[in-house]
């Protein structure tokens, strides 16, 4: 990319355009870019609000075009290489501009070379999926999550256990739902006994694994994207029942690899690799290194 980045906005509401204009000056200087916002049909990058019906309809064609596109959305797992999540925040915008500045583009067409779709998460006090709450260790006391239209799940991180009477289908709805950590209800010891009476106790790693698999369809956790090399100390028990997952695990035991290298070596679909790596990361099983060839993993 050049030092000047022209962002063409499509289907954004006036409020989001105003917020974007107010943030690009600071964000651009942090990313060492001069950034302009245009609602005309020209620009180095197109920003599309895919939450709007017209934007969602236009996305597939724009995403196949010669100009790189960025999805603006509330959906944390939207499958896009470049994404900006609502509400627009300066730190996230700085990160996006840095990614655009250092992205690899085809010199003739200007189109971004194939890369992983990467999820985007907010701060600790934002709405996050259960997997990310568990990965960030947001609760050190027993809590009840869900309720209302969603199934209830009791999580006791201290005991490494969880309880629920929900069916697999009901649980899947909760795992796709984003919510604030503060919305979970803290349980006293007496309440924990009452709520779990008659429910089977399950290992918390099993819930973390399922939550990690449910994070996205083909998108990678941001911690795992790019040149980050990954390694496993052992094959996760949960991976043994899936041939594709166990093959990936055995490769990561032998030597550190990036997600792209793992995909090539395992000959697995990117969606399967993303699901596997996301689940391992949520469970805290992956060793991560972004320090290059002379690092501790090498």
Domain of 11: which CATH number? 3.40.50.2300
Q: What range defines the domain where residue 201 resides?
A: 128-213
Distance of CA 265 to the CA centre of its chain: 23
Q: What is the pLDDT of residue 291?
A: 58
Residues 6+ apart with CB under 8 A from 226: 258, 290
The whole model's pTM is what? 0.64
Are residues 166 and 237 both part of a single domain? no
Query: Is the residue at 123 inside a domain?
Result: no
Are residues 208 and 233 both part of a single domain? no
Distance of CA 23 to the CA centre of its chain: 23
Q: What is the pLDDT of residue 108?
A: 43
Query: Is the residue at 297 inside a domain?
Result: no
Are residues 65 and 16 both part of a single domain? yes
Q: What is the CA radius of gyration of the chain?
A: 21
Q: What is the pLDDT of residue 95?
A: 80
pLDDT in tens, 150-206: 999 999 999 999 999 999 999 999 998 999 999 999 999 999 999 999 999 999 999
Q: What is the pLDDT of residue 2?
A: 46
Q: How far is the C-alpha of 220 from the C-alpha of 42, rounded, in Å?
A: 30
Last residue of a domain, one of 195, 213, 231: 213
Last residue of a domain, one of 182, 213, 244: 213
Query: Is the residue at 91 inside a domain?
Result: yes
For the chain, which residues score pLDDT lower than 50?
A: 1-2, 106-114, 292-296, 298
pLDDT in tens, 232-262: 999 999 899 888 899 999 999 999 999 989 9
Q: What is the pLDDT of residue 273?
A: 92
Query: Is the residue at 85 inside a domain?
Result: yes
DSSP per-residue string spanning 188-216: -HHHHHHHHTTPPPEEHHHHHHHHHHTS-
Are residues 233 and 208 both part of a single domain? no
Q: What is the pLDDT of residue 31?
A: 64
């Amino acid at each position: 990319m050049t030092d000047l980045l022209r962002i063409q906005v499509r289907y954004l509401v006036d409020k989001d355009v105003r917020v974007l204009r107010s943030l690009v000056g600071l964000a651009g200087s942090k990313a060492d870019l001069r950034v302009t916002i245009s609602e005309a049909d020209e620009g180095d990058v197109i920003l599309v609000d895919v939450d709007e019906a017209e934007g969602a309809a236009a996305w597939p064609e724009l995403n196949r075009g010669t100009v790189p596109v960025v999805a603006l959305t509330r959906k944390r797992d939207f499958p896009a290489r470049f994404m900006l999540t609502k509400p627009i925040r300066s730190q996230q915008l700085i990160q996006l501009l840095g990614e655009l500045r250092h992205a690899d583009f085809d010199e003739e067409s200007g189109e971004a070379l194939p890369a992983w779709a990467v999820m985007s998460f907010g701060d600790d006090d934002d709405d996050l999926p259960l997997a990310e709450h568990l990965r960030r260790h947001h609760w050190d006391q027993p809590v009840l999550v869900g309720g209302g239209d969603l199934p209830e799940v009791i999580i006791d991180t201290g005991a490494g256990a969880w309880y629920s009477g929900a069916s697999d289908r009901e649980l899947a709805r909760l795992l796709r739902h984003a919510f604030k950590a503060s919305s979970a209800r803290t349980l006293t010891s007496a309440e924990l006994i009452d709520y779990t009476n008659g429910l089977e106790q399950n290992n918390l790693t099993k819930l973390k694994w399922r939550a990690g698999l449910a994070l996205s369809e083909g998108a990678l956790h941001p911690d795992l994207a790019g040149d980050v090399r990954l390694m496993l100390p052992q094959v996760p028990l949960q991976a043994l029942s899936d041939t594709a997952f166990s093959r990936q695990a055995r490769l990561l035991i032998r030597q550190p690899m990036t997600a792209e290298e793992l995909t090539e070596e395992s000959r697995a679909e990117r969606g399967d690799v993303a699901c596997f790596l996301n689940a391992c990361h949520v469970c805290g099983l992956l060793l991560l290194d972004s320090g290059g060839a002379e690092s501790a993993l090498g």
